Amino acid sequence: MRYGFVIDQNRCIGCHACTVACKEEHQVPVGVFRTWVKYVEKGQYPHTSRHFGVMRCNHCDSAPCVTICPTKALYRRSDGIIDFDNQRCIGCKSCMQACPYDALYIDPNNNTAAKCNFCAHRVENSLEPACVIVCPTQAILAGDLDEPSSNVSRAVATQKVSVRKPEKGTDPKLFYIGIEGDILHPTRLARQDGYVFAEQRDHRPKENRFDPAVTREVYDVAHPAPWGWKIAAYLWTKSIAAGVMLMAAAMLGLRFFGEPVVNVAIPAIALVALAATGLLLIFDLKRPDRFFYLLTKPNFRSWLVIGSYMLIAYGALCAAWLVCGLLYHGVPGALVVPTAILAAASACYSAFLFAQAKGRDLWQSPMFFWHLLVQAFVAGAAVLLLTTIFSLALSSNLSRIASTIKLYLAGRAFLGLLFFLVVSLAMVLAEAFLPHTTEDLRMAVENMVRGPLSIRFWILAIGAGMALPLVLLTCVIVIPSTVRTDLALMAVAATLSLAGVWWFEDVWVKAGQSVPLS
């Protein structure tokens, strides 16, 4: 049994009866929608045409929202309906990123996710969904797609039907008859910023005027970006938490066994950054009071859950490293390798989490894993360099041997920062200018490189966060100067590099959500 919808857009008159019936049946709050009607127009007045598209959950056979949901609040029933349990939802909004169809929203009354559930309570009582019975033109059909005699099965078998974004591989069970093709591809639509047909003259610049051949979106519902600065900050603090221990492990490989910076200061910084990461994740939840559901009601297919366990295990190893450094003034070799492995895993697991967000093509980039790893090394080298310089500044009575060791440690961190900045810059530029495989990806990169995010991308992330630190570090190498001046230049470069990681993460999160899904 596989329940699905067929919507005949040849019959639809755009009356919104389905929207109203859905709201009344489920008491959907003002401002959010489980089903809605989208309007687009083509042509130029007076030769225009209006087309409708009914938007809602597609009840996919391979639903990405079910896979990414960390607490199994979203699940696929035996009859194929994708239902949800708001008593398990923690409000992480990852399902909203996974859905390519903008079908989910956060219910403002209880701060949990919600969507069309096929009126499952009615189906269980052999009743049709509310939207079906209220449609005045019988444009909406619902039933079992596996039953050959059902209306939906016959419609799919005998008529030309379309689905939204089949390339996503979700196997949607919402089929359209006679829908305008551009409605299925939101990136083709022009968003109007005025009432052009009510104006006697269009005084806007020619490049901003409507092309009559372009389909214009004239009515839709709002779908704000689910993730904001907290997610970018979580990626940033996690890069620091993982990167400092990766650098510490590398320094121990270079025999810095007795150095307090490596044995004590660095694991302490890692634990502080890890705590900040956890707090950011918790406070980004719409239901932070339920954060422990990640451990008590886990969905082990979700990388949000897998990553949480990684962070917990990594935090335990960092704490063990710190204890060994405080009590024994050294770290056993058996602790170094697993800590480095979990540090790398903690830095990079977000690439798999973002890849589960099927709605966002930019985040599907196979290079994002390597972005996160390299950025962790950049952040780790920058923090190690700053910590070593700070240690030198505070300890004016150091012996010559201790000072030499710290300067050598700063030199290793300096070289690491220089190398990974070059790699990071090359990877980011390659990501921006290599050919793009989908229109959504091209638009996201366009928004980042030439659109509204371009200043933050070029001036801050690339210019101040990567290019300028490289210039400063190069000056340390090629221009003779005092040790004090060199350390000052290194400190400025390290600080800018840390800021650059933050600026890039912020742009990446915003650019990924800048392309409309519906």
DSSP per-residue letters across 436-460: -SSHHHHHHHHHHHTSTTHHIIIII
CA distance 353 to 275: 20
Same domain (yes/no): 180, 150? yes
pLDDT digits (tens, 9 = 90+) for 396-450: 665 566 677 778 888 899 999 999 999 999 999 999 998 888 999 999 999 999 9
For the record, the structure tokens of 422 come out as: 């070059």
Same domain (yes/no): 191, 250? no
Same domain (yes/no): 47, 90? yes
Please state whether beta strands 47-56 and 35-44 pair in parallel, antiparallel, or not at all (unpaired): antiparallel
Q: Is residue 415 part of a domain?
A: yes
Q: Is residue 138 part of a domain?
A: yes
Residues of the chain short of pLDDT 70, as ranges, are 191-213, 254, 257-258, 396-402
CA distance 59 to 72: 16
What's the CA angle centered on 270, arms 268 and 275, to 5 degrees? 100
Q: Is residue 151 part of a domain?
A: yes
Please state whether beta strands 112-114 and 74-76 pair in parallel, antiparallel, or not at all (unpaired): unpaired
> What is the per-residue pLDDT for 471?
97
> What is the per-residue pLDDT for 5?
97
> What is the per-residue pLDDT for 399?
58
Q: Is residue 517 part of a domain?
A: no
> What is the per-residue pLDDT for 117?
96
Same domain (yes/no): 143, 245? no
Q: Is residue 518 part of a domain?
A: no
> What is the per-residue pLDDT for 220?
86
Same domain (yes/no): 148, 281? no
Task: Answer with the one of 219, 254, 287 that is the final residue of a domain.
Answer: 219
Q: Is residue 224 part of a domain?
A: no
pTM for the model: 0.92
Q: Is residue 137 part of a domain?
A: yes
Same domain (yes/no): 214, 233? no
Structural domains of the chain, count: 2
> What is the per-residue pLDDT for 208?
46
> What is the per-residue pLDDT for 218?
83
> What is the per-residue pLDDT for 398?
59
Task: Answer with the one of 219, 252, 283 that is the final residue of a domain.
Answer: 219
Q: Is 161 helix (H, G, I), strand (E, B) or coil?
A: strand
Same domain (yes/no): 214, 235? no
CATH number of the structural domain spanning residue 38: 3.30.70.20
Same domain (yes/no): 202, 278? no
CATH number of the structural domain spanning residue 324: 1.20.1630.10
Same domain (yes/no): 344, 462? yes
Task: Answer with the one of 190, 219, 248 that is the final residue of a domain.
Answer: 219
Same domain (yes/no): 203, 261? no
Q: Is residue 421 part of a domain?
A: yes
Full domain range(s) for residue 161: 3-219
Given a contact cutoff of 8 angstroms between Cβ atoms, the answer to whether 398 and 406 are in contact is yes
> What is the per-residue pLDDT for 405?
72
> What is the per-residue pLDDT for 42?
86
Given a contact cutoff of 8 angstroms between Cβ atoms, the answer to whether 428 and 371 are in contact is yes
Same domain (yes/no): 435, 497? yes
CA distance 247 to 245: 5
Same domain (yes/no): 183, 253? no
